[in-house]
Homo-oligomer: A and B are copies of this chain.
Amino acid sequence: MVNKTKNENASVEERILKAAEEEFLNKGFDGATTEAIARNAGVTHAMLHYYFRTKKNLFEKILNAKVDMLIKVIFGTFKSSGLPFRERITEAVKSHFDFIRKNPELPRFIINEFNSGSRRGILLDKKIWEIIPKLGEELQKAIDEESAKGVANRIDAINIIMDAVSLNIFPFLVLPFLKNIGAPFAEYEKDFLDMRREESIKVITGRLFNR
C-alpha cells in the first residue's frame, strides 16, 4: 500500500518540479534562484535541497524532461498515417508548429542551455542523435519516391527539416522582441502566429512541389 507520507512527498516533489520548470524556462539556469522556486512551490528552500540536493541536479531533471518532450515530438512528427505525401508534410509542419505553440519557451530554453558557454546539459547526447537520422531517412525515402514520380523536387531531407524547424520556432523567439519594440502585429499574437503557421506550410510545400 502506498502510504500517505509517500503521497505527500510526491506532491511536494511535483510542486517543486513544476515551480522549477517555470523558473528555469523563463530565466534560464543562471537567472533562476532556488529560493524563488521554493517560494513558488510553497515550501521552504531547505526542502528543495532535501529533495534534489543541488540546483544543478534539479535543473538537469527539468532539462531531461524537456529533451524527452523534444524527442517525442520529433518521433510523432512524421508518422501521420495513410495520407498522401503532400498532406503528410502539411500535417507534420502544422503539428510541429502547434506543439511549439503549446510550449513557447521551449526553443529558447533548449538553444540556450546547449550553447557553448554553459557546461551543463551534457549526458543525453546519444538518445537524440539516434532519432533524427531515422526521421531524415524516412523523409528522404518519401521525397525520393515522389521526385521519381515527378511530383516533388529532389531535395536533401535534412534541409527540409531544418527549413521547417527554422520557420516554426522563429515566431516564438522573436515575439518577446517584437513586443518589446512595440511592433503592431505583436499585439494580435494569435493572428500573427496563425499567419506564420500558414507561411511555414506554404514555404515547405512550395519548396517541395513548386506550389
Contact = CB atoms under 8 A, between A and B. Distances in A.
Interface string A113-133: 011111001100110110010
Please provide the 8 A-B residue pairs with the shortest distance between their CB atoms, ordered closest to farther.
A166-B170, A30-B30, A26-B117, A30-B31, A114-B177, A129-B181, A115-B176, A166-B166
A117 B180 contact: no
A41 B41 CA distance: 41
A112 B112 contact: yes
The copy count of this chain in the complex is 2
Interface in A51-79: none
Interface in A166-199: 166-167, 169-171, 173-174, 176-177, 179-183, 185, 195-196, 199
A203 interface: yes
A207 interface: yes
A141 interface: no
Contact of A162 (B115, B132, B165, B196): B196
A203 B64 CA distance: 34
A174 B132 CA distance: 14
Contacts of A174: 111, 162, 165
Given A111-B173, A167-B167, A170-B165, A27 B26 contact: no
Contacts of A30: 27-28, 30-31
A108 interface: yes
A132 B174 CA distance: 14
A163 B30 CA distance: 31
A180 B210 contact: no
A202 interface: yes
A177 B111 CA distance: 7
Contacts of A128: 181
A31 B118 contact: yes
A102 interface: no
B210 A210 contact: yes
